[in-house]
Amino acid sequence: MTAERAVTEFSPRFEAVAAVGLGESFAVHTADCYDGQLSDERAVRPDVDMARFNRASGPVAVTGTRPGEWVRVVIERIEVAGRGVLALTPGLGVLGDTVEHPSTRVLRVSDGRAWLTPEVGIPLRPMVGILGVATARETVPSSTPGEHGGNLDTRVLTAGTALAVRVNQPGLGLCVGDLHAAMGDGELGGTGVEIAGEVRVRVERLGDHTGNRPLVLAPEGVHVLASRTTLDDAVRDGFREAVALMARWHDLEWPDAYRLTSVVSDLRVSQVVNPRTTARIAIPAQWCPDSLLATCGRSSHSCLG
C-alpha cells in the first residue's frame, strides 16, 4: 500500500484503501511526518503545509475483526529511507522558547547510522510514531494519541514488538505513519529523526485479554500506554491499568497488586510534546502472561537506500 493513500484523522467511520485477513502479512509505505516537504536544508518547518502534517497511510480493513475484541498489530519489519530530517523551530519541544530561528538538518542514512554531521552518527533504531485504528466515537487528529493508538511516539514500538489495541469498528481501520530512524524517550526536542519508509505488519486476535489502554508487547515485557493532557494524569491512568492487569494475571486483591506493581514496574515517558502526553508503565516479562508475548522478537529493520 502506497503513502499516497493517507489520512490526517482517526474517526469512527473509514473508507478502506485495502483489505487483508487476520494473520496476513502486508506492507505499508509511509511518507515522513512532513510528507516530504522538507526536501533540503533551505526549507524550514514554518514553510510546511500543516494540512499534510502527520499523514498516516491507510486505513486498511482487517476482515473478521469485531468491535470489543482485542488484537495485536505485530511489527515484522521496518525499512527506512536513505535520508531523514531533524527540524527545529521556535516553540517546538520542551526548550522551544529558547530556539531563536527555524533550521533544518537533512541526515544521510548509511552504515547503520543517521549522520547529523560527517563525524556524528546516530545509531538507527527505527520505530513507528503513528499506529492506530478507527475510534469508538470521537474524531481525533492523527497527531494526537489516545485509546485508539494514534500518535503514540513510543520508542519501543519497533520491529519485533506488537501494539495491543481494542477493536472499535468492524474491520479495524488500521493506519501507520510518522516513522523515526531514531528517537529518544520523551521526544524532548519535539522531533525524532523523521523519515519515510515501509512497515510490514500482521494483525492477530489477542484472545481473552481485556483492558482499557493500548499496550506494547515486547520481548522484555508489556508496556502500558496512557495518553492524557497532563503527564500526571497519564501516569495515573497508566499505573491504574497496570495494577488492574497485575491483579488479574496473578489472582491478587487490589492492595497486593498495587504493592507488587509498584515494586516491579518502571515509569517511562514516551513523549511530552503532542497534544496529549504519553506515559508508559513497563512490566518485566517474568510478570506477564506468555500468551501476550508469544509473537515478539522475530523481526528486523533495514535501510531502503
Write down the pLDDT at residue 303: 62
Q: What is the greatest pairwise CA distance in the chain?
A: 59
Write down the pLDDT at residue 257: 98
pLDDT, tens digit, for every residue of 39-91? 999 999 999 999 999 999 999 999 999 999 999 999 999 999 999 999 999 99
Show Cβ contacts of residue 114 under 8 Å, excluding neighbours closer than 6 positions. 84, 107, 108, 121, 122, 124, 181, 182, 193, 195
Low-confidence ranges of the chain (pLDDT < 70): 1-3, 294-305
Write down the pLDDT at residue 296: 66
Does an H or E element contain 254, and which? helix 254-264
Write down the pLDDT at residue 295: 66
Write down the pLDDT at residue 292: 86
Show Cβ contacts of residue 228 under 8 Å, excluding neighbours closer than 6 positions. 234, 237, 276, 277
Write down the pLDDT at residue 210: 87
Structural contact between residues 219 and 296, judged by C-beta atoms closer than 8 angstroms: yes
Write down the pLDDT at residue 65: 96
